[in-house]
Amino acid sequence: MIFLLLACTTTITGVVQDQAGVPLPGASLEAEGCSAVSGPDGRFAVRCEPGSYTFVVSHPGHLPHSVRVSANRRGGIPVPTINLVSVPTDPGIYVEEESGFLPLPASPFRREDSPPGESPATTRYCPSASATPVRANARWLDVHGVDWRIFRVGEDNCFYRLRELRKDVWTREADEVKIDKNEAFSPTDEQRRWIQPGLSPGRYVIAERLGDTFVPATVADNSYRGWYLEVR
């Protein structure tokens, strides 16, 4: 009976690793009617009844991944290497790509004041570096470390403007963008959040905020902390 059972099963084999090619021991592969766990070298081998299986592959600190396996013949079925994407833990904003999470590079912006004595007094906040290109439908991961807001950059290459109406009374012009979706990475992980910004093509500044003020990068040159991007 045991011999007949083994003769009717299919052996599915493969290896689980991260996107850098490092083997992942203890990865779980779960499908209806068949499951496995990768060994110390990331390899797995499991006997299953002939059929088609969709394995959900998971490992702590990585995004789960689904793999479809057609095991409709006896003998061995090798599965192409399964690459799991590592989830960042360092604070920052990351853009999800097929190859992994790409961190948005920091890009300080500057405050530009009108010359002393000029009326009306004005202040503008403008990016001072090249914009990072980002896909319009990209999903972001915010590993929470700071509070930030998104502003659309205008034709004058600035995104936040102040004009003095009369002494100590200022008017503000800022095209702030409300993000479409903001949800916890998982029910137990609020420090990381999925962001679906819903940004149309254009240029934007993500400005780090502390309450209602921008966070300085270098006080000496009126620069502030943020990220400058161009959605395409």
pLDDT value of residue 219: 67
Tens digits of per-residue pLDDT, 146-187? Answer: 999 999 999 999 999 999 998 889 999 999 999 999 999 988
Same domain, 120 and 189: yes
Whole-number pLDDT of residue 184: 94
pLDDT tens-digit readout, 45-56: 999 998 999 999
Same domain, 69 and 124: no
Both structure tokens of 60: 């702590």
CB 35 within 8 A of CB 29: yes
131 and 194 belong to one structural domain: yes
Query: What's the burial of 90, exposed, middle or buried (CB within 10 Å: 0-12/13-18/19+)?
Result: exposed
Buried b (16+ CB within 10 A) or exposed e, 15-48: bbbbeeeebbeebbbebeebebebeeebebebeb
Closest CA to 192 of 139, 149, 231, 133: 139
Global pTM reads 0.81
CATH number (domain holding residue 16) = 2.60.40.1120
* Containing structural domain, residue 6: 2-84
Note the helical H segments in the chain. 2-7
What number of other Cβ atoms are within 10 A of residue 108's Cβ?
19
In whole angstroms, give the CA distance from residue 50 to residue 10: 6
Q: Quick one: 77 and 99 in the same domain?
A: no
Q: Do 25 and 133 sit in the same domain of this protein?
A: no
Contacts of residue 58, defined as CB under 8 A and 6 or more positions apart, other chains included, come to: 27, 28, 30, 64, 65, 84
Residues recorded for the chain = 232
79 in the same domain as 98: no
On whether both 100 and 65 belong to a single domain, the answer is no
Residues linked to residue 84 through DSSP beta bridges, in sequence order: 18
Point out the domain boundary residue: 84, 101, 133.
84
pLDDT tens sequence across 189-229: 989 999 999 999 999 999 999 888 999 997 678 899 999 99
- Considering 55, 84, 113, which residue would you say is the last residue of a domain? 84
Residue 1 predicted with pLDDT over 80? no
pLDDT (0 to 100) of residue 222: 87
Q: Are residues 114 and 63 in the same domain?
A: no
Same domain, 64 and 150: no
φ/ψ of 153, rounded to 5, equals -85, 130
The sign one gets for the Cα dihedral 40, 42, 45, 51 is: positive
CA distance 94 to 30: 28
Q: How far apart are CA 131 and CA 225, in angstroms?
A: 14
User: Based on the structure, what is the number of domains in the chain?
Assistant: 2
CB atoms within 10 A of CB 116: 6
pLDDT for position 220: 72
Identify whether residues 65 and 123 lie together within a single domain.
no
Say if residue 4's pLDDT is above 50. Answer: no
pLDDT for residue 137: 92
Q: Across the chain, what does the average pLDDT equal?
A: 91
Statement to judge: residues 64 and 160 lie in one domain:
no
72 with 113, same domain: the answer is no
19, 53, 84: which is the final residue of a domain? 84
